Copies of this chain bind each other. A is one copy, B any other.
Amino acid sequence: MFCNKNSYSMNSSHFSISLHILTLLDQVKGQLLNSEYIAGSINCNPVLVRKELANLHKHGFVQSKEGKGGGSTLAKNPADINLGDVYRAVKQKSLLGESKNEPNPDCPVGRQITKHLNDLYDEAETALVKNLSSKTLKDFSAGFK
């Protein structure tokens, strides 16, 4: 009998937080918001917001201004930010799980399953992203009264 260890890990709150941030920035129409204010709305730590903003900045969604009176604002028109792109910018792990530890290579199923699962997940995720891509930040934000 074979034995070792396996795990398939998952996404977390990055997408929710990023979309929350983008929505806030859209709602204030160009006004700079600082990380403490944003954290107050999300209800999380400001450092987490700044990390999330750093990623959004890296992907061209936001601009930030340092120093007193600084903060962040959208870097593009909200009609040009689609949620599929946000998802891709933000995702760090495979949606349904990525095997970090190895299934048993001495078992025919264990030996091949990682590849088969990845193929399956990639296709499923493509369907999900396609759905998200049909919506823009403008659409999403317009739902808030």
Please report A residues at the B interface, Cβ cutoff 8 Å.
1-13, 15-17, 19-20, 23-24, 27, 36-37, 39-44, 83, 95-97, 99, 101-104, 107-110, 112-113, 116-117, 120, 123-128, 130-132, 135, 140, 143-145
A96: shortest Cβ distance to chain B, in Å? 5
Q: Which residues of B contact A127 (CB under 8 A)?
A: 127-128, 130-131
Establish whether residues A104 and B40, one from each chain, have CB atoms under 8 Å apart when the complex forms. yes
Given contacts A37-B1, A116-B140, A132-B124, contact A110 B42 (CB under 8 A): yes
What residue of chain B has the Cβ atom nearest to residue A103's Cβ?
B43
A37: shortest Cβ distance to chain B, in Å? 7
What residue of chain B has the Cβ atom nearest to residue A101's Cβ?
B43
Which of these, B13, B101, B113, B123, contacts A10 with CB under 8 Å?
B13
Establish whether residues A12 and B8, one from each chain, have CB atoms under 8 Å apart when the complex forms. yes
What residue of chain B has the Cβ atom nearest to residue A2's Cβ?
B40
Complex CA–CA separation, A124 to B83 (angstroms):
11
Q: Which residues of B contact A140 (CB under 8 A)?
A: 116, 120
Complex CA–CA separation, A97 to B90 (angstroms):
13
Report, nearest first, the 10 A-B pairs whose CB atoms are least far apart.
A8-B13, A6-B43, A127-B131, A8-B16, A41-B107, A128-B128, A2-B40, A41-B110, A4-B43, A10-B10
What residue of chain B has the Cβ atom nearest to residue A93's Cβ?
B10
Given contacts A116-B143, A127-B128, A144-B112, contact A10 B8 (CB under 8 A): no
